[in-house]
Chain A
Amino acid sequence: MEENKGASSCSSHGCNHSNGGRGEKFLNPTPMLDELEKGPWPSFVSGFKNLAERTKKPMLRGVMDQLEYSYNTKMGYWKGGLVTVDGYGAGVITRYSMIKDKIPEAAEFHTMRIQPPPGLHYNTAMLREMCDIWEEYGSGMLTLHGQTGDIMLQGIDEANVQECFDKLNEKGWDLGGAGAGMRTAVSCAGPARCEQACYDNLELHLHALRHFVGQLHRPEWNYKIKFKFSACPNDCTNSIMRSDLAVIGTWKDAIQVEEAAVTEWIEEKGVDALVNQVINLCPTRAISLQDGGMKIDTRDCVRCMHCLNAMPKALSPGKERGVSLLMGGKNTLKVGVNMGSLIIPFMKMETEEDREKFMKLVEEIIDWWDDSGLDHERIGETIERVGLRQFLDGVGLDVDINQVSRPRDNPYFKAKY
């Protein structure tokens, strides 16, 4: 294949690409896409055009032409395939154009999924070096970030994939997940900024994804499995609905109350606000108005986060902190959306030992699913099909009242005898 990085032939394309500094545009006209340059929100079309006019990469012109074509015909023209790097069975999202006879410059447009740092915390040195490598080997288009959590470097020829990956890998970047294996995970900002963080989700994310790195790069399970790490029940990573393994920070004991700050809040906002915006919105009526102030009955508290969100200076999570594990979330494909359900109400998550213990448990859970699950069946679907009881038995987990919102309302079971 060609050594000409990022280029592909356009001799049969008949386009005007010989501007030679005479002020002619590199790109072909794209009147539909141009409509998306109007309006105040930053325009991805303007971004593409600026990049294309500066770098003159034929792939960019091809992709713009194909996108314009799609806007006119209202159909998509990419098909999948398999391109990867040595030793990995997944991670490069392969795209070939179905209309390369019309638009040869768009013939190949593969995307490399790259795992970001947990919490999407970057420094400019990291980002700049990634951009330099990407511009050298690929189109220069990228997405921060994909829905599962990857950096998506969009637009590279197969011939350049290995070398581009090697350069990135040298700088500490690795491919993300695809196919039937472990996928890239997501974390919220965590203890790197947020006062509600109940555990070090960034460290657990790093630990977990390193632990399963082999199964991420060489997929061999029934289907995909995703971790998401939210440091508190606000669940800013949307883990309950978007992951198989939702690790949500929580606490066991009482919410910590700073009385002076409560008084300050009431003085500033008034008792009406205390009642209408805090007390009345507690889902389990754990808070009562008392002598013009508030009293929380910890036994009734479900740790929903509302009062902490409403009174951030006055209230904070309890001292006995850890995680809850929910399982089985997935989005709409095939069977509809499933929400994860609570499997383990509380686990400490402070030390390396705690993390190791957690990893061992997750391995057992995944082994059970790999044996009991069907092809293309998410773990939540498997649990629903065989029954929660069978899952708990199979993995050796204790039954806990917090796993259900209420006990069953029918008597149709056979107890052991």
Chain B
Amino acid sequence: MILFFIINKQDKEEIIMGIVINGATIETDENGYLVNLEDWTEEIAGKLAEGEELDMSDEHWSLVKFLRDYYDEYQIAPAVKVLTKAIAAEKGIDKKEASEFLYGLFPKGPALQACKVAGLPKPTGCV
């Protein structure tokens, strides 16, 4: 659940958004993405997933791991087609089925939900 807090930052009261973990406030932006990507832990990912009304299964976590490994290596989130190709290869299904599988796990889409839960930067742009 994303909560609103009033905190003291440099003697000014500021309303920020965030989640509470073990008494600490982890800041998120208005879209629910982590403001500081270094804050990410599995526990925080769980909270983010709750906020997205996602029931995190092994398949979900496997995808989150894939995203984070990819980002660690390449410093970018994988393109959706890279994701669907990886899923297709692993499960021995075709691209269309892989896409359906992906949206079955993350109904609002890999960019919006999977990247958010995995603590990757928010994808940009409509152009």
List residues of A whose CB falls within 8 A of some B CB.
Answer: 80-90, 93-94, 96, 100-101, 107-108, 178-180, 214, 218-222, 333, 370, 375
Contact of B108 with A89 in the complex, beta carbons under 8 Å:
yes
Contact of B107 with A222 in the complex, beta carbons under 8 Å:
no
A180-B80, A220-B84 given; 14 more Cβ-contact pairs under 8 Å: A81-B33, A82-B112, A83-B112, A84-B112, A88-B109, A89-B80, A96-B29, A96-B31, A101-B15, A214-B96, A218-B99, A218-B103, A221-B81, A370-B81
Query: Of B30, B81, B107, which one neighbours A81 at CB under 8 angstroms?
Result: B30
- Residues of A close to B79: CB separation below 8 A: 180, 220, 222, 375
Contact of A220 with B81 in the complex, beta carbons under 8 Å:
yes
**Does any Cβ of A come within 8 Å of B124's Cβ?**
yes
Contact of A82 with B80 in the complex, beta carbons under 8 Å:
no
Give 13 CB contacts A-B under 8 Å. Answer: A80-B122, A81-B30, A81-B31, A81-B33, A89-B108, A89-B110, A89-B112, A93-B126, A218-B80, A220-B81, A220-B84, A222-B81, A375-B79
Contact of B30 with A96 in the complex, beta carbons under 8 Å:
yes
- Residues of A close to B111: CB separation below 8 A: 82, 89, 179
Cα distance A97–B79 when bound, in Å?
A: 27
Cα distance A214–B96 when bound, in Å?
A: 9
Contact of A82 with B103 in the complex, beta carbons under 8 Å:
no
Q: B43-81 CB contact bits vs A (8 Å, 1 = yes)?
A: 000000000000000000000000000000000000111
Pick the 10 closest A-B CB pairs, nearest first: A89-B109, A81-B31, A220-B80, A82-B112, A86-B107, A220-B81, A96-B30, A178-B126, A84-B108, A93-B126
Contact of A333 with B127 in the complex, beta carbons under 8 Å:
yes
Considering only CB atoms and an 8 Å cut-off, how many residues of chain B contact the other chain? 26
- Residues of B close to A94: CB separation below 8 A: 31
**Does any Cβ of A come within 8 Å of B23's Cβ?**
no
Complex: chain A residue closest to B107, CB-CB: A86
**Does any Cβ of A come within 8 Å of B92's Cβ?**
no
Query: Of A81, A85, A90, which one neighbours B122 at CB under 8 angstroms?
Result: A81
Cα distance A94–B29 when bound, in Å?
A: 13
A63 to chain B, nearest CB (A): 16
- Residues of A close to B110: CB separation below 8 A: 89
- Residues of B close to A84: CB separation below 8 A: 108-109, 112
Cα distance A377–B28 when bound, in Å?
A: 32
B13 to chain A, nearest CB (A): 11
Cα distance A86–B112 when bound, in Å?
A: 11
- Residues of A close to B124: CB separation below 8 A: 80
List residues of B whose CB falls within 8 A of some A CB.
Answer: 14-15, 29-31, 33, 79-81, 84, 96, 99, 103, 107-112, 116, 122-127
**Residue among B14, B31, B110 with most chain A CB within 10 A:** B31
Cα distance A84–B84 when bound, in Å?
A: 20
Contact of A80 with B125 in the complex, beta carbons under 8 Å:
yes
Query: Of B80, B107, B108, which one neighbours A219 at CB under 8 angstroms?
Result: B80
- Residues of B close to A221: CB separation below 8 A: 81
Cα distance A222–B85 when bound, in Å?
A: 13
Complex: chain A residue closest to B110, CB-CB: A89
Contact of A82 with B31 in the complex, beta carbons under 8 Å:
yes
- Residues of A close to B96: CB separation below 8 A: 214
- Residues of A close to B30: CB separation below 8 A: 81, 96, 100, 107-108
**Residue among B84, B103, B111, B126 with most chain A CB within 10 A:** B126
Complex: chain B residue closest to A331, CB-CB: B127
A82 and B99 in contact, given A220-B80, A220-B81, A221-B81 (Cβ under 8 angstroms)? no
- Residues of B close to A89: CB separation below 8 A: 80, 103, 108-112
Contact of A179 with B126 in the complex, beta carbons under 8 Å:
yes
Contact of B107 with A87 in the complex, beta carbons under 8 Å:
yes
Complex: chain A residue closest to B115, CB-CB: A82
Cα distance A214–B107 when bound, in Å?
A: 14
Cα distance A178–B123 when bound, in Å?
A: 13
Complex: chain B residue closest to A181, CB-CB: B80
Contact of A80 with B126 in the complex, beta carbons under 8 Å:
yes
Cα distance A90–B126 when bound, in Å?
A: 9
B82 to chain A, nearest CB (A): 9
Cα distance A107–B17 when bound, in Å?
A: 13
- Residues of B close to A101: CB separation below 8 A: 14-15
- Residues of A close to B108: CB separation below 8 A: 82, 84-86, 88-89
Complex: chain A residue closest to B123, CB-CB: A82
A261 to chain B, nearest CB (A): 47
**Residue among A84, A85, A178 with most chain B CB within 10 A:** A84
Cα distance A80–B126 when bound, in Å?
A: 8
- Residues of B close to A88: CB separation below 8 A: 108-109
Cα distance A88–B111 when bound, in Å?
A: 11
- Residues of B close to A96: CB separation below 8 A: 29-31
